[in-house]
Structure 1
C-alpha cells in the first residue's frame, strides 16, 4: 500500500448523489472532505454581500483572490465561513443557486479556484491521511494527480427526483436548477464524460448505501496497488 495520503476526486452533475456519497466515503475512510462547489457558492454570497456586480468579471476575480474563506473539512460536520461568519445556510438559498453559475463560468475565477482547491486538497490529505474532494473538473483540472478519480452519473429522471426530494420543490423548478445550470456550467467544465483514467459510477439504479460501497470498492482497490 502506498505511503502517500489517499486523494479521491469525484466529479459529476447535480443530483447524482456525489455530495452525500463523498461525505460518507470520507467518514468510512477516516479522511477529510472538501466541497469545492461550496467555495463557488461562498464567493457568490460574498460578492453579493459586498455589492460586487457579478457581471464585472475582473472585480469578481479580485474578490476570489482575497475573500476570507474558511472551509471546515470534517465530513461529519463540514462547514463554510467567510470572515468568521458561518454561511452554510445562506449559500444554499435560491438567490445563490440562481447566481452561482455566473461566478463559476468566470475563467479568471476558475483559474484561481483551481489552485486554491488543489492546495486545500493537499493540506487536508496531509493533516488527515487523505481527502475526498467533490465538485466539477476535480478529476481533470483540479486534481488530475489524485490516485482515485471518479465520475458519478445518473439519468436525468433520477437526478431530478433526488433533488426534488432534497429541496421539497416542484419538478419544473428542479429541472431549471439541474438542467439549466448544467448546461451553463458545461461551457467551461467537463463533467458529463469520463476522461482517460477516470472511473464512471452510474448511480441511476443504486441506492445510497450501494453508491457509497461502489466508491469505497474503487478507493480500496487503489489503496492496495
Structure 2
C-alpha cells in the first residue's frame, strides 16, 4: 500500500493548476483543495458586502464574519460563503480582477493558510496555489511548479471565458501578465518556484499528458522516491 502524501502545486494564473489537480486527485483518490477558490470566495464576500478591498482594516474586520466552507460533492468541490453556494459566482471576471489584491493582504493569507494546513494535515491531498510549496506546506513530500507562457495561459483562459463574457484575447493575456507581476512582486507570500519543486511546462502538453506526468511523479513520491 503506497503511503498517501501531501502534494503542493504552484504556478502562475492560467497554468491549468486547478483543472489538472482535480483530475489527478480523482484518479488517485486524493482530496483536492482549491486554494484559489478560497481566495475567490473571500473576494466575492467582500465585494458582495460592499467593502472597499483597498481598506486593509475594513477587510481584516470583515474576515471574522465570513464563514468560508469547501464541500466535497459528487460533481467536485463547491465553495460556500455564509451558507450560500458561490461556486459559479466566484469565477466571474469581476471577482478575478480583484482577487490578487485581496490575496496580497496579510490578514486574508493568515486566515486561509491556517485553514489549508488544517485540511492538509491528514495527507492524501493535493493543494494548488501560489505559495503552497513555499509557505503553506513547506514539508510537502512532492512540490510541483506548473507553468506555461503568458500567450498559452491567456489563450486557455480566453477559451473558458469567450462564450460567457465579451472579452478579447489581448485583454485576457494582458490580465494574465498583470496578475503574474502582482503575484510575483507582492510582499506577502509571493509566487516563487521553490528549489525542491519539479518544474512541469505545459505549453506543448495536452491535459492528459500533464495529468499523467503528475500521476507518475506522485506515485514515485509515494514510494519514497526522490524527485529532482
TM-score normalised by length of structure 1: 0.90
Q: CA deviation at 1:65?
A: 4.1
* Structure 1 unaligned blocks of 5 or more: none
Aligned partners of 1:206, 1:74: CA distance in 2, in Å?
29
Distance 2:74 2:174 in 1: 29
- The 5 Å alignment of 1:201-216 reads 201-216=200-215
Q: Could you tell me whether the CA contact under 8 Å between 2:130 and 2:190 is conserved in 1?
A: yes
Aligned to 1:183: 181
1:153 is the counterpart of 2:147? yes
**Which of the residues 122, 126, 132 maps onto 1:132?**
126
Query: What CA distance in whole angstroms lies between the structure 2 residues aligned with 1:198 and 1:49?
Result: 37
Q: Aligned pair count?
A: 218
- What are the Cα deviations for residues 102-144 of structure 1, in whole angstroms up to 9, with x where unaligned? 211112222222222111222xxx3xx6111111101110111
State which of 116, 138, 143 in structure 1 corresponds to 2:137: 143
Give TM-score, length-normalised by structure 2. Answer: 0.89
Which residue in 2 is equivalent to 1:172?
A: 170
Q: Is the 8 A contact 1:8 1:146 kept in 2?
A: yes
Q: 2:157 aligns with which of 139, 163, 166?
A: 163
Shift of 1:74: 5.1
Cα displacement (A) at 1:158: 1.2
Q: What does residue 43 of structure 1 align with?
A: 42
Alpha-carbon distance between aligned partners in 1 of 2:131 and 2:125, rounded to the nearest angstrom: 16
1:141-165 deviation digits (Å, cap 9, x = unpaired): 0111111110001112211121111
Work out the CA distance in 2 between the residues paired with 1:183 and 1:89.
26
Q: Does structure 1 retain, via aligned residues, the 8 Å contact 2:155–2:173?
A: no
**Separation (CA, whole Å) in 2 of partners of 1:74 and 1:217:** 26
What RMSD in Å do the two structures reach over aligned CA positions? Answer: 1.8
Structure 2: runs of 5+ lacking an equivalent = none
Q: State the distance in 2 between where 1:136 and 1:73 align.
A: 22
- 64-73 or 15-24, larger mean C-alpha shift: 64-73
CA distance in 2, matches of 1:68, 1:220: 35
